[in-house]
């Protein structure tokens, strides 16, 4: 990470608060609204007018076949991709209209409010676990070093990695690396957590330890958008499930409806192929 020109002030609770507490208690108000998001890579139209609304304390899970555009949605919400059209707005922030040129400061505004947990961990290999966690708060958010270290240590303790604070990423298992990735996102105290296939790069026996951390965060009221193939997790943790295919949202609804009585044929075919053999 590198510091922004805006000098983003520290966010969230101070060092005396619970660093694993969400930014604000869930109040069911709208946190994020995206309308008509479109994105193409060359001739490949990846997103075709995606609409998404996320309420505070809500867990929205995106499912669908590979190549359906799920990751591009996340990267657009975080400013890592620039849509070709549509609007994105966090409540209390500017509405970004991507039908015109959006300045770099607009994409930074999205990153100020959200944090991404990546599929491949993306830890800095030359930094210890603790250094990976405090890099963003200190350099980007200008959090005092003592506060950042105290909060990082508390977060690592909460996910069972306190004894690994001085280890380097290559000394950790895949599950431990992903838990560090989650802690690194939490340390930024975002309004919105974005998870991009957080278990797909893990050995099967390590999947559970990462999903249990994400489920705990959901239970504590963190607002999340999660891309996953772990449909059991989606059933348990999601407030809303969106099934995507071909760059569109084919169907959306409560997990009980999506998984037991989908209305769209494409959704039924996907679930028959993926879910039914597991039942």
Mean pLDDT by 10 residues, the chain (279 residues): 36 47 68 97 96 96 95 96 96 93 89 92 94 95 95 94 96 94 95 94 86 92 95 93 97 95 95 69
In this structure, the chain runs to a length of: 279
Looking up tokens 């922030």 gives 93
pLDDT value at residue 13: 37
pLDDT value at residue 76: 96
Tokens of 275: 């879910």
Looking up tokens 């000394």 gives 171
pLDDT value at residue 12: 38
pLDDT value at residue 267: 96
pLDDT value at residue 5: 36
| Structural Rg of the chain based on CA atoms | 18
**3-class secondary-structure state, position 249:** strand
What's the number of CA atoms in the CB half-sphere (13 Å) around residue 60? 26
Tokens of 245: 């295919």
Sheet of 224-227, strands arranged across: 114-117, 192-196, 224-227, 59-63, 240-245, 248-253
Please list, residue by residue across 227-261, b when 16 or more beta carbons sit within 10 angstroms of its beta carbon and e when fewer do: bbebbebbbebbbbbbbbbebbbbbbbebeebbee
Q: pTM surpassing 0.85?
A: yes
Domains and CATH numbers, the chain: 29-275 (3.40.50.300)
**3-class secondary-structure state, position 45:** strand
CA angle 26, 13, 59 (to 5 degrees): 30
**How many of the other CB atoms lie within 10 Å of CB of 101?**
8
Mind giving me the DSSP string for 86-152?
Answer: EEEEETTSPPEETTS---HHHHHHHHHHEEEE-TT----TTS-HHHHHHHHHHHTS---HHHHHHHH
């Amino acid at each position: 990470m590198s510091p922004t020109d805006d000098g983003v002030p520290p966010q969230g609770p101070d060092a005396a608060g619970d660093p694993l507490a969400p930014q604000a208690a869930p109040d069911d108000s709208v946190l994020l609204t995206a309308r008509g998001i479109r994105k193409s890579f060359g001739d490949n139209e990846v997103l075709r007018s995606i609409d998404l609304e996320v309420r505070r304390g809500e867990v929205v899970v995106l499912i669908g076949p590979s190549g359906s555009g799920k990751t591009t949605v996340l990267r657009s919400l975080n400013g890592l991709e620039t849509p070709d059209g549509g609007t994105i707005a966090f409540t209390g922030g500017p509405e970004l209209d991507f039908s015109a040129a959006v300045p770099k400061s607009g994409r930074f505004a999205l990153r100020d409010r959200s944090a991404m947990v990546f599929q491949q961990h993306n830890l800095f290999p030359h930094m210890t676990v603790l250094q990976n966690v405090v890099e963003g708060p200190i350099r980007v958010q200008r959090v005092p070093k003592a506060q950042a270290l105290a909060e990082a240590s508390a977060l690592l303790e909460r996910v069972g990695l306190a004894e690994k604070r001085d280890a380097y990423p290559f000394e950790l298992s895949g599950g431990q690396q992903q838990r560090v990735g989650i802690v690194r996102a939490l340390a930024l105290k975002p309004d919105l957590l974005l998870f991009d296939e957080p278990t797909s790069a893990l050995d099967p026996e390590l999947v559970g330890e990462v999903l249990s951390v994400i489920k705990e965060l959901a239970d504590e009221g963190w607002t999340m958008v999660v891309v996953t193939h772990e449909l059991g997790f989606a059933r348990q943790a999601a407030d809303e499930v969106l099934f995507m295919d071909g760059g569109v949202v084919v169907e959306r609804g409560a997990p009980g409806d999506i998984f037991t009585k989908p209305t769209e044929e494409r959704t039924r075919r996907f679930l028959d192929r993926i879910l039914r053999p597991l039942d």
